Chain A
Amino acid sequence: MDKPVISFKGAKKIYPMAGESVEALRGVDVDIYPGEFLAIMGPSGSGKSTLMHIAGLLDSLTEGKYLFDGEDVSFISRDKQADIRNRKIGFIFQSFNLLARCSAQENVELPMLYRRPAESNLHEKSMEALRTVGMENRASHLPAQLSGGQQQRVAIARALINSPTLIMADEPTGNLDTKTGKEIMNTLASLHEEGITIIIVTHDHEVGQATRRRIFLRDGLIERDERQAQSSGLTSP
């Protein structure tokens, strides 16, 4: 088997609060391999968001070890984190998080602006990413002119633009109706088919059923780690 993309060993996250501190993660060990389609599940307060933030290098561990793509990233600088996020991780959020004043295409290009060294063929690449999610006809629309599902597609295109190792989706269907949610899950599933590692954080079991592996968190610890050879048939390979 390949080396894991994400490897946590004894991962702890403690938030200092007034008076007492809150332990959001209390020693998590987990390996995630390239090409996995995985859901992190659990009730609110279980630590799943914290785990995603740390795995996505938006936050750092208090204790323990985190290897990303074989590299120890447990205690690296904010700028290094930003560079890794930029090149290797694509984010998809519940509330889409598109820039309201920028067109769909400009939103997709956003991560490329921060890429070092800079790339030149911005427009071709962003159009290609929009085509992948079927949004090439809406390239010049502002987010407000798009439906929720369309906005989330633009967000997926943005996550794809720098050809990341990994896509992290935080409740990607949370703000969408069931039908649109299923379409988005299909899009993610087909990206997985193309070999992209996808991690979804959700408390929605139906979403979880669409994936191949589910990690259940409770009170900052892994409660259960389920693997499933075949997804429930939302996709039709």
Chain B
Amino acid sequence: MNIVITMIRLAIRALLAYKVRSLLTMLGIIIGIGSVIVMISVGRGANESIQKQIQSLGANMLMIFSGSSQSGGVRGGFGSAPTLTIRDAQAIEKECPSTLNVTYVLGASTQLVAGKKNWGTRSWGTTANYNLVRDWQVKDGEFITEQHFRSAAGVAVLGSSVAENLFEPGEQAVGQQIRIKNVPFRVIGIMQTRGRTPSGQDNDDTVLVPYTTMSRKLVGDRLPGLVHFIMVSAQSQALVETLKQEVEELLRQRHKILPGMTDDFTVRTLDEYANMAGKTTNTMTMLLTAVAAISLLVGGIGIMNIMLVSVTERTREIGIRMAVGARSRDVLVQFLVEAMVISLIGGILGTVIGVATAIAISALAGWATIISLDSILLATLFSGAVGIFFGFYPARKASRLDPIEALRYE
């Protein structure tokens, strides 16, 4: 024990004897560890904010898209062949036991006019429980009701971005008349602000009207009963996967899809979105961390370089220690401890700077950063390991010196 404390003390004294040199040597480790910490915290922050955005899409929700169209060899994307109908949605509600709420939407590009202002956006025809499935409430007025739905009423609920673009700030939007594709509508509500989707689209740049109104007055009855998406919420988080299987089975039956055939629809859970997004951010985090790790490697080589110089400079000291009875291992340990002290101090400084930088980034750039204890511990341990790894070669060189040669060294 005595010898370990003495060795650490000696190592610190050796480092203090060459302050500038030690600091420059540490710089590689400081930058390396610092950037690892920053990269991990930025990466985790980005991941978490994306996961939050995905959860904001709805509660325990499934999205069902119609499958891709195929004419000749050309395949359209999801939703290009409208195969889903209101009847599918009704069947899901009736026959899938894990269902809580079902809604569906039919969309169309529309031009909106309110007074002298106009705005182009996508309008969606939907049902009265859309707000339940999406877990998205109105902030002003009311949502579409069963009554509106049945009577195909000319009412519209605006996303907050649309309301901002059609009305002056402070102007009362609810109760105003607007025209969608020249059809008059009365604004009955404004949705709460939701922000952006993970893919960067504005959730709030949308208009909701009753499905019946949409189908009859805005898109016409060319496609009776067709919908773009069906959204289903499960009774609980645990039942989301079960519900997905129930829905898939039911739709295969209804669409007469035999085993071996391709489904003409796609069911996605939010978890799947979360996983996809997580994979993307993880890849980015790993990439950035790899770059940071390379700077650690360079820092380690710097330590090896300085330790080699130090071993040469202190050849005589090594000779003296050996003459008074230091075994090879004692010398090896001494130089390893020294390399480790350099890289550990560098690692601790790097951690402090990394944490400070991460905090500064989230304060200045507004990025979410997450500083976790495990990344700090990991960085510190890793810096110690770098010291041992890159200190080993010089230390072994020192331990193998011939005592007589070492004592003669000038």
Contact = CB atoms under 8 A, between A and B. Distances in A.
Contacts of B329: 79
Contact of A82 (B17, B319, B326): B326
B317 A82 contact: no
Contacts of A83: 325, 327
A101 interface: yes
Given A58-B323, A85-B323, A122-B2, A93 B407 contact: yes
A51 B14 CA distance: 34
A52 to B, nearest CB: 10
A58 B325 contact: no
B321 A118 contact: no
A114 to B, nearest CB: 4
A78 B317 CA distance: 18
Interface string B345-381: 0000000000000000000000000000000000000
Given A58-B404, A97-B316, A118 B324 contact: no
A63 interface: no
Interface in B284-331: 316-317, 319-330
Nearest to A80: B327
A86 B403 CA distance: 13
Contacts of A114: 3, 321, 324-327, 330
B409 to A, nearest CB: 11
B10 to A, nearest CB: 8
Most buried by B among A85, A118, A122: A85
Interface of B is mostly: helix
A207 B402 CA distance: 29
A91 interface: yes
B139 interface: no
B13 A101 contact: yes
B6 A82 contact: no
Given A113-B3, A113-B6, A118-B3, A97 B325 contact: no
B320 A97 contact: yes
A111 B321 CA distance: 8
A97 B317 CA distance: 8
Interface in B8-53: 10, 13-14, 17
B34 to A, nearest CB: 31
Contacts of B403: 58
Given A101-B13, A101-B17, A113-B6, A82 B316 contact: no
Nearest to A161: B324
Interface size class of B (residues with CB under 8 A): 20 to 34
Nearest to B403: A58
A110 interface: yes
Interface string A135-174: 0000000000000000000000010001000000000000
A97 B2 contact: no
A97 B407 contact: yes
A77 to B, nearest CB: 10
Given A99-B317, A118-B3, A110 B17 contact: no
Most buried by A among B2, B6, B323, B326: B323
Nearest to B326: A114
Nearest to B322: A82
B328 A97 contact: no
Nearest to A79: B327
A115 interface: yes
A124 B245 CA distance: 81
A122 B1 CA distance: 13
A98 B330 CA distance: 18
A108 B141 CA distance: 89
Nearest to B320: A97
A2 to B, nearest CB: 25
A43 B319 CA distance: 25
B287 to A, nearest CB: 45
A202 to B, nearest CB: 17
A29 interface: no
B16 to A, nearest CB: 9
A131 interface: no
A233 to B, nearest CB: 33
Contacts of A79: 327-329
Contacts of B3: 113-114, 118
Nearest to B317: A99
A158 B328 contact: no
A45 to B, nearest CB: 15
B311 to A, nearest CB: 15
A122 B2 CA distance: 10
Nearest to A170: B407
Contacts of A111: 324-325
A125 to B, nearest CB: 13
A99 B327 CA distance: 17
Contacts of B322: 58, 82
B321 A110 contact: yes
Nearest to A97: B320
Given A82-B325, A85-B325, A110-B321, 18 more contacts: A53-B404, A56-B323, A78-B328, A79-B328, A82-B327, A83-B327, A85-B324, A97-B320, A101-B13, A102-B10, A111-B325, A113-B6, A114-B3, A114-B324, A114-B327, A118-B3, A158-B324, A162-B325
7 closest A-B pairs by beta carbon, nearest first, are A86-B325, A111-B324, A114-B325, A82-B327, A79-B327, A114-B326, A85-B325
8 contacts: A56-B323, A58-B403, A79-B328, A82-B326, A85-B325, A113-B3, A115-B325, A118-B2
